[in-house]
Amino acid sequence: MPELPEVEAIRRRLEPAMRGARIERVLLRRADLRKPFPADFARRLERRRVRAVDRRGKYLLVALDSGDTLLMHLGMSGSFRIDSGSTRRRSARVVPPDRHDHVVFSLSNGTIVTFNDPRRFGIMDLVGEGALVAHQTFEAMGPEPLAPGFDAAVLAAACAGKRVALKIALLDQRVVAGLGNIYASEALHVAHLSPRRRASTIATAAGRPRLHAVRLAAAIKSVLQRAIHRKAAYDGGGRFRVYEREGEKCPTRGCPGTIRRISQAGRSTFFCPICQR
Range of the domain at 179: 152-242
Same structural domain, 123 and 57: yes
User: For residue range 78-95, what is the model confidence (pLDDT) as tens digits?
Assistant: 999 999 875 555 454 455
pLDDT value of position 95: 58
The identity of residue 156, as a single letter, is A
Residue 235, domain member (yes or no): yes
Same structural domain, 48 and 111: yes
Residue 135, domain member (yes or no): no
Residue 182, domain member (yes or no): yes
Please calculate the CA angle 143-147-149 and round it to the nearest 5 degrees. Answer: 75
Same structural domain, 180 and 225: yes
Q: Would you say residue 261 has pLDDT above 80?
A: yes
pLDDT value of position 234: 47
pLDDT value of position 133: 81
Residue 147, domain member (yes or no): no
Q: Which residue has the higher pLDDT, 92 or 217?
A: 217
- Among candidates 103, 113, 104, 87, which has minimal Cα distance to 18? 113
Residue 236, domain member (yes or no): yes
pLDDT value of position 161: 96
Calculate mean pLDDT across residues 206-222. Answer: 98
Q: How many angstroms separate the CA atoms of 194 and 271, rounded?
A: 7
Q: To the nearest whole number, what is the mean pLDDT of the chain?
A: 93
Alpha helices, DSSP H, located in 19-134: 41-45, 85-90
**Percent of all residues in the chain with a pLDDT value above 70, rounded to a whole number:** 94
Residue 35 CA from chain centroid, whole number: 20
Q: Which residue has the higher pLDDT, 12 or 134?
A: 12
Same structural domain, 179 and 122: no
Counted domains in the chain = 2
Same structural domain, 116 and 163: no
Q: Interhelix angle for 211-234 vs 181-190, to 10°?
A: 130
- CATH number, residue 167: 1.10.8.50
Residue 54, domain member (yes or no): yes
Largest CA distance in the chain: 66
Calculate mean pLDDT across residues 153-169. Answer: 98
pLDDT value of position 239: 81
Same structural domain, 14 and 106: yes
Same structural domain, 61 and 100: yes
Alpha helices, DSSP H, located in 102-197: 152-159, 166-171, 181-190
Picking from 94, 127, 160, the residue at the C-terminal end of a domain is 127
pLDDT value of position 92: 43
Answer for the pair 15, 232: CB distance below 8 angstroms, yes or no. Answer: no
| pLDDT range class, residue 199, cuts 50, 70, 90 | very high
Catalytic residue numbers, as ranges: 2-3, 58, 267
Q: Residue 193: phi, psi to the nearest 5?
A: -120, 135
Same structural domain, 112 and 9: yes
Q: Which pTM value belongs to this model?
A: 0.90
Residue 261, domain member (yes or no): no
Same structural domain, 120 and 190: no
Residue 9, domain member (yes or no): yes
